[in-house]
Structures are given as C-alpha cells and as structure tokens.
C-alpha cells in the first residue's frame, strides 16, 4: 500500500498532467472556452503545488481569495502576484505556499470553504502568514449583505493576517473598503492597499482583470504589508494606548 507522501506525489503528478492538457487546449481554442481551460489549468497547477508544499518544510504562507490569487490574467501562474511574492519570500527563507483561492469566489466562499480548509491545515501549527484578497466579485455582483459577511470573515482570520482592499471604483467598493479598514484595526490585522485596477467593475466572474504588470504591482503592495509588523499581541489597556508627543516628558492616553 502506498504511503501518504507517495499518494500525494501521485495526485500531484496527475494534476500536472491534467493542467498540461488544459493549457494546450486553451492555447488553440478560441474565446470563452480557452479562458475556462486556462482557469482550470491554473487551478490544477496550484492543486499540485499545494500537495508538494504540504510535504515540505519551512514557513507556511496560506492564500485565500478569488481568481486574481490564482494568477488569472498573468502569462503564467508564476507571474501572478502570489508567484511573485512567493519568489521574494524565498529569497529570505525556505517559504512554502498553499493557495486555497478559487476563481469566481466571493466572501461567502472564503467563510464557508476556504477558512475551514485553513483551520484544518493549521490545526497542529499556525501559518506564518495568511493573506486574503477577496470582495471584488461581490462588489461587481452587488451581493446583498456584503458588509455583514465581510465583518464575519475578517473576525475569523488569524491575528496578523493581511487583508487587501477591493481594487475597484464606485460607492460599493468604497463602502467595502471602509468596512475592511475598520475591522482590521478591531481584530489586529494588516491592510494591503491594492489601489484601483482602472475602469469600472466587470460583471460576473473575474471582476478584476489583471495582466503581468498589474500582478507585479499587487505583489509590491502585498510585500509592503508583509514587512509592516503585525499589531502588538497584547490587549489594549482600558485607559488607552500611551502616546508620547514631541517634547512631552510623560505619556498621555489616547
């Protein structure tokens, strides 16, 4: 009987073979069919890479999100923002990444599927880094109750996790970003400001359309948040956080 590592290696190999066929067909077929096949190829590539990462050692980064976190729009999976950030992290240490994102996902998918997967993966040891880029699909679809699901999702993230802003224009995106900025402070998280993608939100899947340049820009924003120290783990005292202003001898409370 095969051991668990051998079974994982076999599953990873099968995923890579499947992804190769999808990439080939996506390169020769036109239009929407080609886009769907490329999306499947990226998903299968990540599934294989995730299996490899679970057998490796080193600091663990877990990615939550939608199609952008899969690398959709980039010329290769590695040229997506997750691949670029992973490469930068690996220059510092033997970082590994498990990407739980899904094309077309919204905040509810993170709550119902991705966060339980995160909990399973980190049952024995917490991840060194968790990032979440989500919300653009909900803004584009005008998902009702987005503020409530956003608050619930952010409250469920581990302390110190990075949550990205919704990179779209318009009142709905601004309202979502206001919730994100408020809740990350409340729960001791960090923000990656992705700016704007340019143009209004698309309808349906892949509300954010990125190319290699856009993914590179996002990778810099994520790394800036990574290098921003996580909030102090201590509970804020009832009298407030001490603040020392220029020229003061004694701290005052905010």
Least confident of 71-75, 116-120, 145-149: 71-75
Identify the weakest region by mean pLDDT among 22-31, 67-76, 186-195: 22-31
Q: What is the model's pLDDT at position 4?
A: 60
Kindly report the average pLDDT of the chain as a whole number.
82
Top pLDDT among 231 and 254 is at 231
- The pLDDT assigned to 94 comes to 94
Rg (CA), the chain: 20
3-state secondary structure 161-183: CEEECCCCCCHHHHHHHHHHHHH
**Is the Cβ–Cβ distance between 232 and 131 less than 8 Å?**
no
Alpha helices per DSSP H over 62-170: 67-70, 81-90, 107-109, 115-121, 136-141, 146-156
The whole-model pTM stands at 0.79
Q: What is the pLDDT of residues 82-128, one digit of tens each?
A: 999 999 999 999 999 999 999 999 999 999 999 999 999 999 999 99
pLDDT of 219 reads 97
Write the secondary structure of 190-247 as one string of H (helix), E (strand) and C (coil). Answer: EEECCCCCCCCCCCCCCCCCCCHHHHHHHHHHHHHHHCCCCCCCCCCCCCCCEECCCC
Which pLDDT belongs to residue 44?
84
Average pLDDT, stretch 156-171? 96
Using CA atoms, how far apart are residues 207 and 223, in angstroms rounded to an integer?
Answer: 23
């Amino acid at each position: 009987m095969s051991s668990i590592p051998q079974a994982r290696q076999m599953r990873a190999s099968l995923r890579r073979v499947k992804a190769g066929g999808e990439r080939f067909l996506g390169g020769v077929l036109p239009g929407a069919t080609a886009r769907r096949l490329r999306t499947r190829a990226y998903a299968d590539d990540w599934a294989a890479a995730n299996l490899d990462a679970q057998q490796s050692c080193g600091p663990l980064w877990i990615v939550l999100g939608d199609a952008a976190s899969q690398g959709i729009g980039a010329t290769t999976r590695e040229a997506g923002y997750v691949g670029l950030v992973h490469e930068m992290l690996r220059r510092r240490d033997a970082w590994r990444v498990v990407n739980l994102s899904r094309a077309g996902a919204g905040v509810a998918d993170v709550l119902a599927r991705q966060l339980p997967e995160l909990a399973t993966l980190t049952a024995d040891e917490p991840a060194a880094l968790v990032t979440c880029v989500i919300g653009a699909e909900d803004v584009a679809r005008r998902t009702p109750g987005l503020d409530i699901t956003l608050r619930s999702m952010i409250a469920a993230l581990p302390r110190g996790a990075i949550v990205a802003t919704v990179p779209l224009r318009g009142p709905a995106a601004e309202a979502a970003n206001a919730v994100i900025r408020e809740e990350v402070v409340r729960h001791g998280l960090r923000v990656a400001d992705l700016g704007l993608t340019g143009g209004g939100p698309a309808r349906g899947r892949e509300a954010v359309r990125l190319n290699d340049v856009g993914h590179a820009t996002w990778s810099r924003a994520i790394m800036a948040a990574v290098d921003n120290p996580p909030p102090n783990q201590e509970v804020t005292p009832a009298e407030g956080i001490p603040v020392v202003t220029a020229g003061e001898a004694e701290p005052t409370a905010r």
